[in-house]
Amino acid sequence: MCKVIAVGLSEWKEAERPDRLRTAGLGSCVGVVVYDDVAGRAAMAHVMLPDHHLARSSFHPAKFADTAVPGLVELLLKKGSAIENLKAKFAGGAEMFPRSGGNGQAIGARNITAVMEGLRRLNIPLIARDTGGNAGRTIEFDTVTSKLYIRTVKRGEKEI
C-alpha cells in the first residue's frame, strides 16, 4: 500500500518505494527532490529562501537552498544510497507578485539559481525541472517510477 508523505514549508522528509512525497503551496518556494532510483528512495525539501545567511532567528536547514540540497544528499547517503546513483528534479520558483523597482532577482529566481548551484557543487545530475512563471504549484514524487507530478494553478498537471 502506497502512502503519501506530506512535506511542509521549510521541511524535508524521505520516502522509500512504494511511498510518495508531496508538497503544496510552491509559489516563489522550490520543491527539491533528490532520489536514488536504484534503491527506490527519495528525499524532498520545501525550500523558502536561497541562502541561510537570510535567517533572522531560528535556523531550519530545509528552509534554505544552500543547506537543503546537501542535507537531502546526506539523508540519502545515511540510508545507504550511493552518491553516483543520486539524481534530482525540482519545481517552483514562480514570481507570484509584480515587482515595483528594486535591484536584483526576485526570490523565486534566486531560489532556482541556488538549487542549481547546490546540485552542481555536489555533482548531482539535474534530470528535469519546472520553474518560474507566475502560478503556484503542488508537486508529488513517486518513488516507484521516479516521476515528479506537477499541478500548476489554472494549467493542469504534467509529469517530469
In tens digits, the chain (160 residues) has pLDDT values of 899 999 999 999 999 999 999 999 999 999 999 999 999 999 999 999 999 876 666 678 999 999 999 999 999 999 999 999 999 999 999 998 766 545 567 999 999 999 999 999 999 999 999 999 999 999 999 999 999 999 998 888 999 9
Pick the CATH number of 4-159 from 2.40.10.340, 3.40.710.10, 3.40.50.300, 3.30.1330.200: 3.30.1330.200
pTM (two decimals): 0.93
Catalytic residues: 29
**What is the bridge-based pairing of β-strands 126-131 and 30-36?**
unpaired
pLDDT score of 23: 98
pLDDT score of 74: 98
C-alpha separations of 90 from 30, 57, 114, 128 in Å: 7, 27, 12, 7
Separation CA 22–CA 140 (nearest Å): 4
Separation CA 137–CA 94 (nearest Å): 9
Domain residue extents for the chain: 4-159
Question: Cis peptide leading into 98, omega within 30 of 0?
Answer: no
pLDDT score of 54: 66
Q: Which residues contact 113 (CB under 8 A, 6 or more apart)?
A: 50, 105
Dihedral sign (CA 72, 78, 82, 85): negative
